Amino acid sequence: MGQFDPDMMAHIKFNEFVENLRDLDDETRFEYILDLAKKHRDDPFPETDMSAKHEMHGCQAKVWIIHSRKEGRNYFRGHSNAAIVNGLVTMMTDSFSGWADEDIADLTIDHVRQLNLGSLTIQRQVGMMAMLKYMKKLSLDKVA
């Protein structure tokens, strides 16, 4: 067994999404995103956090993202009032939770492309990039 690598562990969720989405056709990928949104029904996003303070702009639907830090790592939770966006924001926040500041700072559109969202990427790239940018900002703000 190799040495425990906290960065590698933190990136497991992102790699899992990349792996899961790799060979899906558009229809199945779409259902996968919706399932992600439904998963969070059991652990709902706090209503008190659906506030202007946590709302990000750049998507047609409302999107809220909250951020916390633990042991120098970034943790995100997100929610949207639109189901598909909820799935996408869940994927983004789950993917990059646990990442170190420098890894969050290095996030680019390539990470979104790696998720292989197919036609969803083309349609929602602007929104996904807005989420990425917002998460980077939250990380930076907390650092400051």
With binding defined as CB under 8 A, does residue 18 bind another protein? no
State residue 132 phi and psi, 5-degree precision: -60, -45
Beta carbon of residue 29, minimum distance to another protein (angstroms, whole number):
11
Q: Which of 13, 20, 62, 75 binds another protein (CB under 8 A)?
A: 62
How many CA atoms within 13 Å lie on the side-chain side of 96? 32
The CA distance from 85 to 129, in Å, is 13
With binding defined as CB under 8 A, does residue 129 bind another protein? no
Three-state DSSP at 80 gives: strand
Q: Which of 60, 108, 113, 133 binds another protein (CB under 8 A)?
A: 60
Number of chain positions touching another protein (CB under 8 A): 15
With binding defined as CB under 8 A, does residue 123 bind another protein? yes
With binding defined as CB under 8 A, does residue 130 bind another protein? no
Q: Which of 119, 126, 133, 143 binds another protein (CB under 8 A)?
A: 119
The CA distance from 66 to 138, in Å, is 8
Six token digits for residue 113: 């492309």
Nearer to another protein, 24 or 61 (CB): 61
Q: Which of 84, 100, 129, 130 binds another protein (CB under 8 A)?
A: 84
| 63: nearest Cα among 133, 143, 141, 2 | 133
Q: How long a stretch of residues is the chain?
A: 144
Residues that bind another protein (CB under 8 A): 26-27, 30, 34, 59-62, 81-85, 119, 123
